[in-house]
Structure 1
Amino acid sequence: MSVLVVGLSHRTAPVALLERVSVSGDALVKLLHAVQQDACVAEVMAVSTCNRVEVYAEVDRFHAAVTAISELLSIHSGVPMEQLSNHLYVHYEDRAVEHLFSVGSGLDSMVLGEGQILGQVRSALKLAQEQGTLGPTLNELVQQALRVGKRSHTETGIDRAGASLVGVGLTLAERVLGPIQGKRALVVGAGSMSALSAATLQRAGVTDIVVVNRTHDRAVRLAQTVGGRAAELGDLARELAQADLVISCTGATDVVITADMVVAREMFLLDLALPHDVDPAVRRLPGVTLVDLESMQDGAADAETDDGGRAEAVVAVRGIVADEVAAYLSAERAARVTPTVVALRSKAADVVEAELGRLVARVPELDGRVRDEVTQTIRRVVDKLLHEPTVRVKQLAESPAGDHYAEALRELFDLDPKVPRAVRSIERIDAETSKKEVGR
């Protein structure tokens, strides 16, 4: 089994296409189960955000899995394969691990180092766990990616070098409105991105914040955290007429803010939703500026000013990712050979017990003390003969071609590393081997 990633992101596809491919809610759950039901897929998780749609899977056949996952993305998004295929990327085995660690560290985000991706990956992990589509391989890999992402943000300035999408949006807003302190802000939605938006507005000095959401109670709770007020969704047009700055990010599938809701005057609308919350026709209104994810791709780099700090942070994070990938792959390769080592020792133990049984049958009058001494001697001889090759094969297994050494052992000794006895014995054998290594 190997890890495979099939997806598309802001780096490979226009936002308009990402908007069509993006899946959430029940559609995302259906995609997870559809992928897992494919014969060559054992585990699956999907990350679907405004910047990317990626399917992570543990598979046993590369080409068949790529084809199946690509087709299922097409079916569940409604985007024909001929429109989708040119924008898809595929990462496999080592490259899949590196890609996920880079994503979690913010290196692959539209805005460098943004911290939202960690929460998005964590949500994807939780959903896959709840739906039962995750197994030990992907679970451990994603957990490690989250740890790598946290380490990257803690040890470097990557999150400071690249502002969040909201931070970039506010920088663009100030180019239109001037200083945003003293402006009236309207936040449409009450999810995680809306909460980040409201908090960012408050930190920027905006004191007049209104929150509108389909579920009024959630709007009230979010508004209270930033000292603002909540309004009913039915009052959205009235609130728009009084707002200078609007940030919208809902989970709606249709447009939330239409052109006839907006009064032609100086105002700035930031649409962070996928699909769009704001009707693009709003751009034609005099004085109104609309920035969405597509236009932010051009403005994000300009909005970041600390070029030297950004470059230094990127180098540091890439170093962390490279080290963590190497460590993960080394441990994973070593773990693959462990069942083979256990099976070898288990088979040797069976041979020893069988021969001792024959000895007792042939020489029943053998003194008990002598019998114990003979037993210990035979076991010591077998352990010493097996010690060096089993330690060595574990070391060799950490190399990229390490699986070949385990395969050679299985062929030479006719081993089945999946036998129940070998699996049950794994911890005992590893413990005994470790004690012998320490004693040498």
Structure 2
Amino acid sequence: MYLMCVSLNYHQLPIELREKFSFSADEIPKANRLLNAEKSILENLLISTCNRTEIYAVVDQIHTGRYYIKRFLAEWFHYTVEEFNQYVSITTKDDAASHLFRVIVGLDSLIKGEPQILGQMKNAFQVATDQGTTGVILNHLFRQAITFSKRMHTEYRVSELAQSSGQAGLHQIKSDFGSLEGKSLAVIGLGHIGKHTAYNASNMGFSKVLLLNRTDQKAEQIANELQGVVEARPFSQLDSVMAEVDAAVFAASVKEPLYQVTNDRQQVIIDLGVPRNVANNSECVNYYDIDNLHSILETNDTKKNQMLNQIAKEIPLEVNDFYVWEKQLHIVPVIRGLREHSLKIEGEAYDSLLRKLPELNAHERKVISKHMKSIINQMIKGPIKEIKELSVTPGATADIDFFCKIFGMDNLKVENQENDR
């Protein structure tokens, strides 16, 4: 049995190609079932996100597994296998396991260290298990990977480091106050930066988040999307809102300041505008412009890279732990023994056929050999899947012994077989 990952991802493909090779959530259960019916595929799991479409599979042979997965994807997306080859990347064995651990912890994401991919992977695993297309190997591997990712996110908390000016501003507000409990925030200007700032602020713990935009309708639309503590206010009420809130983030595109600080009330103001949105002469106000926040982002970049390097160093240990576990599965050498035993019978039958039909040419011999191997692969696929699942049950030893006996492998020395990686 061999682990394999077939990937279409943002490293090789721009978005205009990735969107052509994307599965919808409704399509994935059917796709998992259809792929599982293909020759050589013993277990499989499919994930499709905005940055990647990937299949993780356990196959009985690498070359046939590679062929049937690529053929499945090519047919689903209406390409020939030859056309599809230029888009797909394939890893096997240790490299496939390492790739999974990198993906699920966020090291392979566009935004390094982001936690969203963990939830997407957990969902993909659940869908595949519901369809019955995973088994002993993928179940163990994905549970281990999910646990590893949770541990890394808890230990290093990469996602908590601000990676944008808006995030840095919000973190600065939280740092100045210590706690956001009972604190109110205004976000003024709801372009790209302001909108994302509003989304991030909506679940940070503010008691109230007020949105203002020179087009009132846009503020109302975003407030309706976020709901909860988020409210829209008319832009004409800017001065009264600023007198009301504890903190504000300005992110409008203007030529002249929108707001002049006139009171001596303790307040935190983040000014993301260039030109600046706020004219501030008050010593009571904690005021930060884009240059003040730049040093925070630089420090965060350094910390983030250090954390990501530490996470990357943990992955080889996880891969090794997985293969140590797999090596302890008594069933691995049994399955290899069944394949070798079956192919030996196929080889003897093929040689006998050639002796009886010496007039066959090279092409005819190749076709016959290919179909005989296909028959063997299809005949043993079902038994392999069954005994693989039985291998982790309480009666595994007796089941494996019986399996070996009925397939004529009584003399198989399991303890002397070594697991290929």
TM range (shorter): 0.5 to 0.7
**Matching of residue 183 in structure 1 with residue 188 in structure 2:** yes
Give, as a single letter, the amino acid of the residue that structure 2 aligns with 1:130. D
Tell me, what secondary structure is at the counterpart of 1:25?
Answer: coil
Structure 2 unaligned regions, length at least 5: 171-184, 212-218, 233-251, 255-296, 335-396, 406-421
Residues 46 and 124 in structure 1, CA contact (< 8 A), matched pair in contact too = yes
Q: 1:195 to 1:327 in 2, by over 3 A?
A: farther
- Which residue does the alignment assign to 1:327? 321
Give the distance between the partners of 1:211 and 1:127, measured in 2 at CA. 34
The letter of the residue matching 1:24 is S
Does the Cα contact within 8 Å between 2:167 and 2:197 map onto a contact in 1?
no
Distance in 1 separating the partners of 2:31 and 2:73: 8
Report if the CA contact (8 A) 1:210-1:223 is conserved. no
Cα displacement string for residues 177-217 of structure 1 (whole angstroms, at most 9, x for unaligned residues): xxx95236599xxxxxx9998455554985336568xxxxx
Q: Is the 8 A contact 1:10 1:51 kept in 2?
A: yes
- Counting only pairs closer than 5 Å after superposition, residues 82-101 of structure 1 correspond to structure 2 as 84-101=84-101
Q: Amino acid of the residue matched to residue 400 of structure 2?
A: K
Q: Write the mapping of 1:217-228 to structure 2, written as runs, cut at 5 A.
A: 223-224=226-227, 226-228=228-230
Does structure 1 retain, via aligned residues, the 8 Å contact 2:40–2:64?
A: yes
Give distance in 2, aligned partners of 1:323 and 1:25.
33
Partner of 2:147: 147
In 1, Cα distance between the equivalents of 2:198 and 2:83? 33
Deviation of the 1:33 alpha carbon: 1.6
Give the match for residue 31 of structure 2: 31
Aligned 8 A contact 1:152 1:320 in 2? no
Give deviations 1:300-358, integer Å, cap 9, x for gaps.
Answer: xxx87633212211221012212211122112212247987xxxxxxxxxxxxxxxxxx
Answer whether contact 2:166 2:196 (CA < 8 A) is retained. Answer: no
CA offset at residue 123 of structure 1?
Answer: 0.5
TM-score (norm 2): 0.52
Shift of 1:19: 1.1
CA distance in 1, matches of 2:197, 2:140: 28
Conserved? CA contact 1:7–1:52, under 8 Å = yes
1:207 is the counterpart of 2:201 = no
TM-score relative to the length of structure 1 = 0.50
* 8 Å CA contact retained: 2:104, 2:145: yes
Equivalent residue, structure 2, for 1:54: 54
Corresponding position of 2:64: 64
Given that 2:47 and 2:55 are in contact with CA atoms closer than 8 Å, whether structure 1 keeps it comes out as yes
2:401 to 400, 419, 423: 419
Q: Is the 8 A contact 2:74 2:80 kept in 1?
A: yes
Number of residue-to-residue matches in the alignment:
262
Structure 1 position 3 matched with structure 2 position 40: no
Return the structure number with greater helix share. 1
Letter in 1 for 2:187: G
Deviates more, 1:141-150 or 1:81-90: 81-90
Segments of 4+ moved more than 6 angstroms: 171-174, 194-197, 337-340
What is the rounded CA distance, in whole Å, between the counterparts of 2:326 and 2:73 in structure 1? 29
List aligned pairs for 1:6-405, cutoff 5 A.
6-78=6-78, 81=81, 84-160=84-160, 168=164, 181-183=186-188, 198-199=199-200, 201-203=202-204, 207-208=210-211, 223-224=226-227, 226-228=228-230, 306-336=300-330
Task: Please state how far the C-alpha of 1:78 moved relative to its aligned partner.
Answer: 3.7
In structure 1, runs of 5+ residues without a counterpart are 175-179, 188-193, 213-218, 231-264, 268-302, 341-414, 424-440
Contact residue 7 and residue 54 of structure 1 kept, 8 A: yes
2:323, 2:118 → 1: CA distance? 21
How far is the alpha carbon of 1:228 from its aligned partner?
Answer: 3.7
